Structure 1
Amino acid sequence: MLRSLRSRLAAAAGAAALVGALLTLGPPAQAAVPDTIPLKITNNSGRGEPLYVYNLGTLLTTGQQGWADANGAFHAWPAGGNPPTPAPDASIPGPAAGQSTTIRIPKFSGRIYFSYGQKLVFRLTTGGLVQPAVQNPSDPNRTILFNWSEYTLNNSGLWLNSTQVDMFSAPYAVGVQRSDGSVSSTGRLKPGGYHGFFNALRGQPGGWANLIQTRSDGTVLRALSPLYGVETGVLPRSVMDDYVNRVWQKYATTTLTVTPFADQPGTKYYGRVSGGVLNFTNSAGAVVTSFQKPDADSVFGCHRLLDAPNDAVRGPISRTLCAGFNRSTLLVNPNQPDTTTAHFYQDVVTNHYARKIHAQMADGKAYAFAFDDVGQQESLVHDGAPRQAYLTLDPLN
């Protein structure tokens, strides 16, 4: 699943998806969006290996899953199998170091993958494409340096983001040229931010350094998200227990007020813990949804006990809670979401992976967990009538 898109899944209905990925539908486009737009890929990595690019997703006009070639032409995946069968080679030769290549991207909801030195291995099951899963020691992509961006291009425009929800790896920035010719970009690390992140993670006690994966020659490949750290056992399952317990204790005697929609300040829900359950009531006093005490898996993944269905009540409340737990703002502010960045990640128990990623971003914006767009902290560019998109691969320094 494309975890970093869950919040927009909860906020918008009707967009097509790749393995559950959705991007928010925006206002009507200012002008007709063409069937394809150019994506300029610039390789500023300084690396000499061959670069491979992939554009994989769901074609929004038909709902078919497949890939697009360099010209933006769509190719549907063939039927898969059980066990999974090899997928067709969907790779596009990327630019050499210091060079740029422009491809065209169609009206997709999907991912732009890029890999250094080796092509990625994709397989097909009877249910569709199998994405790389490097938390699995036997995944054939585990020793490859790669990353991806996520986007939706539809009749309402382009949404393009960088993401670290599943892992932090080869750095890149995304951008869009707007209809007026101006360019907006995000996702760039500070100078030295790549090594700065890994050094900071190594220095964080409590198992956080175990998220880092290296190749046998010592090359650092990535840091897994804390969700995968918990799932694979390299990060203790109890890592968030102390904070969650303190939240449950506080709101047994205090009301937690959630105002989930910035444009609807009158819509509020009121949470109190009773009998070990956090119950939310509406303004009439009726219980609208309830939450069991979440574990670290639920907090870091924004799922399971913090599931966020695509509805108007539980989903928006859950998004807010998830952001509050990951940023550790629930104890400092009984009114959520707390969008004061000075309050984020201040507790000793917090999502240190997300904290350290945001600290290394040039503009402070990132998708370090699934609902990092609560309070507009996400690394996203959007335009209703885009002229061109950009993907810039940055140095690993």
Structure 2
Amino acid sequence: MLRTLRHRAAAVRWSLITVLAGALLGTGVGAPAHAAVPATIPLKITNNSARGEQVFIYNLGTELSTGRQGWADAGGTFHPWPAGGNPPTPAPDASIPGPAAGQSATIRIPKFSGRVYFSYGQKLVFKLTTGGLVQPAVQNPTDPNRNILFNWSEYTLNDSGLWLNSTQVDMFSAPYAVGVQRADGSTASTGRLKPGGYNGALNALRAQPGGWANLIQTRPDGSVLRALSPLYGVETGALPASVMDDYVNRVWQKYATSTLTVTPFADQPATKYHGRVSGGVMNFTNSAGTVVTSFEKPDASSVFGCHRKLDAPNDLVRGPISRTLCAGFNRSTLLVNPDQPDSGADAFYKDGVTNHYARAIHAQMADGKAYAFAFDDVGHHESLVHDGSPRQAYLTLEPFN
């Protein structure tokens, strides 16, 4: 998808590919399905938001059997996008009426890798370029969706099962939870905030000095729409570009005289890489002492976006090292633990210089799990459900409290 998922495409999409290959840090979650996965499965959408506005649902993505981009209707039938233009042309209306407050509605989702959007009160504006669908980009003040209250979940449904997550990588907005019913009838869910967690996360940002309150976007009437991710905060000037410099400098200083050890695969404990800073660059060597990859000192954009100087290609060396570094920088664990990744959440976000957005969100999640930055899945702290033989998926719109 175009904008398509920008940093998400370069980061978490790589994570999902890794999951589907059954190699996500040795979890084995990509195990073969226990039974054939049907062409579509039901997605039950429950509106517990207590809001009176009309809800609109969109199921947009890539049809895995053909690679075509498009949308699915309520019955799960795929519709390819027509050709776009330059300037972008309006996309067909792919909206599905959602359930009223206190009600549920069930749609069917096909074998897609895509997003389920939901909006309150207004339909979202989607356009098509010659390269595909233009996603909402509300960090841009002129985006037509800037003053619409909306959010989305991401999923992949294929022959090996369902992966469904809640995400705050781009923004923290309308609260929701996701779930899956397994073949044995049991359910798993994630993404639910604690009671008071929505306001708790926003209030934590308001109370954090240094520009973090500037991540919160409101309508002209003052009502809250969302908090932007710190990546977009840096890009738009809401956060200073130097917001992570002090921590990064301390990390570079520490590992000029000591070694940072990265063990990127939990199921391959013998695969280790050793990082030392020399000449301003962190070089990683393998067990034979050969330099396998190097990193320039990252800036805040590289840290928050897990890109640029912390780019993570879909390979078996630089990508896994980079995602581990990215997690360590966002969680501020690189100074307290020279053996990464650090899997103990109790040590996360303790430094005064950290990803306070991720800190605030994780602190308010009922199970502690979130996708607050692109590689929040390092150490299994992500809000993801998976099953190889899913009976049904769930999306629950939660209250704004």
TM-score band (shorter)?
A: over 0.9
Structural RMSD (CA) = 1.4
List aligned pairs for 1:332-351, cutoff 5 A: 332-351=336-355
Question: What secondary structure sits across from 1:249 in the alignment?
Answer: helix
Question: Unpaired segments of 5 or more residues in structure 2?
Answer: 22-27
Whole-angstrom distance in 2 between the partners of 1:361 and 1:332: 25
CA apart distance, 1:210: 0.2
Deviations 1:64-92 (A, max 9, x none): 00000000000000000000000000000
Find the counterpart in structure 1 of residue 25 from structure 2.
Answer: none
Distance change >3 Å, CA 245–CA 379, structure 1 → 2: same
Question: What secondary structure sits across from 2:294 in the alignment?
Answer: strand
Whole-angstrom distance in 2 between the partners of 1:207 and 1:8: 29
Whole-angstrom distance in 1 between the partners of 2:18 and 2:185: 30
2:323 aligned with 1:327? no
CA apart distance, 1:25: 7.6
List aligned pairs for 1:42-81, cutoff 5 A: 42-81=46-85
List aligned pairs for 1:97-108, cutoff 5 A: 97-108=101-112
AA aligned opposite 2:172: F
Question: What secondary structure sits across from 2:43 in the alignment?
Answer: strand
Whole-angstrom distance in 2 between the partners of 1:8 and 1:313: 17
Whole-angstrom distance in 2 between the partners of 1:15 and 1:76: 24
CA apart distance, 1:26: 1.1
Find the counterpart in structure 2 of residue 21 from structure 1.
Answer: none
Instruction: Say whether the 8 Å CA contact 2:29–2:386 is kept in structure 1.
Output: no
Whole-angstrom distance in 2 between the partners of 1:61 and 1:11: 17
Report the TM-score when normalising by structure 1. Answer: 0.96
Candidates 308, 312, 317, aligned match of 1:313: 317
Percent identical: 82
Whole-angstrom distance in 2 between the partners of 1:316 and 1:25: 17
Question: What secondary structure sits across from 2:119 in the alignment?
Answer: strand
Instruction: Say whether the 8 Å CA contact 1:10–1:316 is kept in structure 2.
Output: no
Candidates 5, 13, 17, aligned match of 1:12: 17
**Which stretches of structure 1, 4 residues or more, deviate above 4 A after TM superposition?**
13-16
State how many pairs are aligned: 390
Whole-angstrom distance in 2 between the partners of 1:184 and 1:98: 21
Report the TM-score when normalising by structure 2. Answer: 0.95
Instruction: Say whether the 8 Å CA contact 1:50–1:94 is kept in structure 2.
Output: yes
Instruction: Say whether the 8 Å CA contact 1:255–1:271 is kept in structure 2.
Output: yes
List aligned pairs for 1:193-208, cutoff 5 A: 193-208=197-212
Deviations 1:128-172 (A, max 9, x none): 000000000000000000000000000000000000000000000
Distance change >3 Å, CA 370–CA 344, structure 1 → 2: same
Distance change >3 Å, CA 90–CA 383, structure 1 → 2: same
Whole-angstrom distance in 2 between the partners of 1:7 and 1:105: 21
Candidates 276, 279, 283, aligned match of 1:275: 279
Instruction: Say whether the 8 Å CA contact 1:10–1:311 is kept in structure 2.
Output: no
List aligned pairs for 1:145-184, cutoff 5 A: 145-184=149-188
CA apart distance, 1:12: 3.4
